[in-house]
Structure 1
Amino acid sequence: MTVIDIPGSKSVTARALFLAAAAEGTTTLVRPLASDDTEGFAEGLAALGYEVERAPGAWRVRGRPAGPAAASADVYCRDGATTARFLPVLAAAGHGDFRFDASAQMRRRPLAPLAEALRTLGVDLRHEGAEGHHPLRIAARGVKGGAVTLDAGQSSQYLTALLMLGPLTAEGLSVTVTDLVSEPYVGITLAMMRSFGARPTRAGDVFTVPPTGYRATTYAVEPDASTASYFFAAAALTGREATVPGLGTGALQGDLGFVDVLRRMGADVAVTPDGTTVRGTGRLHGLTVNMRDISDTMPTLAALAPYADGPVRIEDVANTRVKECDRLEVCAGNLRRLGITVTTGPDHIEIHPGTPRPAEIITHGDHRIVMSFAVTGLRTPGISFDDPGCVRKTFPGFHAHWENALRP
């Protein structure tokens, strides 16, 4: 395993689609991620009346700073959290009557802090079912702006959505954050907003966004750091080497910090301006690590952990309980199915060394569970999945790519 071609970042692609739709002019996205989540986002934009052209390797979006062209729309957000959280905010900045719904899995995921913040800003938002969850309706009449307080302790996406709204408001936006998880994702948002001509600033817990609007651009999407974590973990486990070009010292994504965890466990890691390389050394040490800022890679480490020479304790990951599934308990349950001793608490998981036995992994339809436990399967033949196809959410070609990358 040497050079690995990782698809574009889901997080970057979703933000780029929002920003392109809001910008003056036509934006070209280079190497965007083509997956169920991002295609669902693009189809949601089309339902709202935006023009989106998708060709292999390049998507073009004609922006509409005034908001959706459609006077009314019924948008289905599939399983996509970015779609389900970002598109209602984009629509709120325009004028029209819009309904948003999502899959049963996404309906279970929380939305209340974002919904309440929008209401504070004067948005007419109503939930049709359970309060704080999809489906919802928005009677959009533009957003004046102002000051709002937000709890982003469950998801940084709430803050990202509001920040991206700021330049589209009449008077700008000030957001005071009382709690924030996955903070590096907010760094992605701020950097990308600046690439599209906005001027957000931060002073401690207060984010200020003036009403600048956005300008179209050509934007290259970097490889997905969360997806790269599986291949980096594979190298650390097998004693081989994995290089991901385009994901180096200038990368936006905080999940590249996963390689620092692997370094602490004993792997050799080199991060250069051109890419990142991980090489296994034949040893994996146990450790205690706080993964609050890189919690999407928690399942990757959990699946690797049984092969360490001591316990692996992952802390401050309570927010993983409200992802596509309760990832903390699902990881624990699957590790126990493999015969591994695991304990959990409200915000942590501790995994003891052991020899995993073959078993079927219960995925709960979560793409990250499949891709993470594919790492375990490198040393434990016979591991299978009840829903291997759920990887289409972020990496439709994962299984073939994984097999090709691991060939001698």
Structure 2
Amino acid sequence: MPVVTIPGSKSITARALFLAAAADGVTTLVRPLRSDDTEGFAEGLVRLGHRVGRTPDVWQVDGRPQGPAVSEADVYCRDGATTARFLPTLAAAGRGTYRFDASPQMRRRPLLPLTRALRDLGVDLRHEEAEGHHPLTVRAAGVEGGEVTLDAGQSSQYLTALLLLGPLTRKGLRIHVTDLVSAPYVDITIAMMRAFGAEVGREGNVFVVPPGGYRATTYAIEPDASTASYFFAAAAVTPGAEVTVPGLGRGALQGDLGFVEVLRRMGAEVSVGADATTVRGTGELRGLTVAMRDISDTMPTLAAIAPFASGPVRIEDVANTRVKECDRLEACAENLRRLGGGVDTGPDWIEIRPGTPMGAEIRTYGDHRIVMSFAVTGLRTPGISFDDPACVRKTFPGFHEAFAELRSVLGDDR
């Protein structure tokens, strides 16, 4: 029975870095994810004047509740959406002039709902080129706080950024949310804020965050549930195979662990224990219709194994996947067609018909999740390759080695 060690959660590592930088004291992060995204976030903190000490398994961050230690900085956010959305918000709580830019891929991704909300709170924030996109400059003088309205229908990261800012404001925040996608990620944010000594209240669609700052702490990062989905899916498509991921169990923060319930509905055997989850392939993979709004990062994983189901797989309520690293709905559809599959798409859905995929080169669009998802397809389809296999460095630099090891074990088990 393969036991797969998954790297730390990208989402949790990014939030922990923000919280550590804003906390009063020195925070120790245990088993953080080391990838291009998180290294970019840490380097951004360094540019803002924070000390970030990094060893392979432990990072330490000197917090500054009053904001960045420098009055001017130029921060490059690479491809990281959390870096590009959270760091300008953190900088706004300080005093100084801070410029943020990002890769061409990240420049295409939207920011406007967040930057509009920050402006409504009095932050002097200017987009240098396209409105609602990087690059941008924040001329910070602290944030008074108060009431603000936010549309988080494109990304829950907009709400997370404001929630994280709340304790650093002078009066706290009352955030009216008109739409929200990927709600479990907000639950992660709130749980982590509480672990760092802050409080968050909720009254329906209104989130209330009092002032008061954060306390430094020691915080362990759990494995990345989105990354685990590829290994769980590998078990589901391989009759008799079994994969266990330790560190993800009933107490896990991440909603993406809910992907195993989709696999259960399709016919896999699933066991979620106190501190580990196991998926076993039964030789049966049924079609289904499933709404994945709350676990949309695992949509490509399901799309990539859908041709092996006995009936159509229809994935609904995933419009937000069109504004990720690429348009993931169309990227999945295009690549499934390259493999000879039957696919239809709509504004917020994709439907995949059963078939026998043929080998082809996968067009990745530089998106790590496209590569890792279609690597699972490759378990049953010889001849799959990728035009940019190295883009997995964004979240899992060692993915190909880890997946090759799993493939060899599953091959021995069949």
TM-score of Structure 1 vs Structure 2, range by shorter chain: over 0.9
Cα distance in 1, alignment partners of residues 309 and 122 from structure 2: 52
Deviations 1:57-99 (A, max 9, x none): 0000000000000110000000000000000000000000000
Deviation at 1:363, TM superposition (A): 0.1
| Map of 1:262 onto structure 2 | 263
**1:130 match: secondary structure:** coil
Deviations 1:206-233 (A, max 9, x none): 0000001000000000000000000000
| Map of 2:299 onto structure 1 | 298
| Map of 2:276 onto structure 1 | 275
5+ residue gaps in structure 2?
410-414
Cα distance in 1, alignment partners of residues 406 and 18 from structure 2: 33
Does 2:83 match 1:55? Answer: no
| Map of 1:171 onto structure 2 | 171
Deviations 1:133-191 (A, max 9, x none): 00000000000000000000000000000000000000000001000000000000000
Deviation at 1:2, TM superposition (A): 1.4
- Structural mapping, 1:206-285, within 5 Å: 206-239=206-239, 240-285=241-286
Q: Report the AA paired with residue 343 of structure 1.
A: D
**2:85 match: secondary structure:** helix
Deviation at 1:200, TM superposition (A): 0.7
| Map of 2:16 onto structure 1 | 16
Deviation at 1:203, TM superposition (A): 1.1
| Map of 1:84 onto structure 2 | 84
- Structural mapping, 1:175-214, within 5 Å: 175-214=175-214
Q: Report the AA paired with residue 187 of structure 1.
A: D
- Structural mapping, 1:27-38, within 5 Å: 27-38=27-38
Cα distance in 2, alignment partners of residues 338 and 246 from structure 1: 35
Does 2:119 match 1:104? Answer: no
Cα distance in 2, alignment partners of residues 242 and 123 from structure 1: 48
| Map of 2:118 onto structure 1 | 118
- Structural mapping, 1:359-378, within 5 Å: 359-378=360-379
| Map of 1:353 onto structure 2 | 354
Q: Report the AA paired with residue 233 of structure 2.
A: A
Cα distance in 1, alignment partners of residues 167 and 349 from structure 2: 38
Cα distance in 2, alignment partners of residues 274 and 150 from structure 1: 36
Cα distance in 1, alignment partners of residues 363 and 57 from structure 2: 33
Q: Report the AA paired with residue 320 of structure 1.
A: T
Deviations 1:235-268 (A, max 9, x none): 0001200100010000000000000000000000
**1:197 match: secondary structure:** coil
Q: How many residues matched?
A: 408
- Runs of 4+ aligned residues of structure 1 deviating over 3 Å after TM superposition are none
**2:116 match: secondary structure:** helix
Q: Report the AA paired with residue 193 of structure 2.
A: M
**2:39 match: secondary structure:** helix
Cα distance in 2, alignment partners of residues 362 and 28 from structure 1: 39
**2:212 match: secondary structure:** coil
5+ residue gaps in structure 1?
none
- Structural mapping, 1:297-336, within 5 Å: 297-336=298-337
**1:238 match: secondary structure:** coil
Cα distance in 2, alignment partners of residues 127 and 261 from structure 1: 41
Cα distance in 2, alignment partners of residues 291 and 194 from structure 1: 27
Cα distance in 2, alignment partners of residues 161 and 257 from structure 1: 24
Cα distance in 2, alignment partners of residues 187 and 113 from structure 1: 20
Cα distance in 2, alignment partners of residues 357 and 208 from structure 1: 52
Does 2:408 match 1:396? Answer: no
**1:244 match: secondary structure:** strand
Q: Report the AA paired with residue 203 of structure 1.
A: E
Deviation at 1:407, TM superposition (A): 2.0
**2:228 match: secondary structure:** helix
RMSD: 0.5
Tell me the TM-score normalized by structure 2.
0.98
Cα distance in 2, alignment partners of residues 223 and 4 from structure 1: 10
**1:407 match: secondary structure:** helix
Cα distance in 2, alignment partners of residues 244 and 208 from structure 1: 35
Cα distance in 2, alignment partners of residues 258 and 108 from structure 1: 28
Stretch of structure 1 that moved more, 397-406 or 146-155: 397-406
| Map of 2:381 onto structure 1 | 380
Cα distance in 2, alignment partners of residues 18 and 388 from structure 1: 30
* Equivalent residues of 2:72, 2:97 under 8 A apart: yes
The percent identity for this pair of structures is 77
Does 2:123 match 1:129? Answer: no
Cα distance in 1, alignment partners of residues 312 and 384 from structure 2: 22
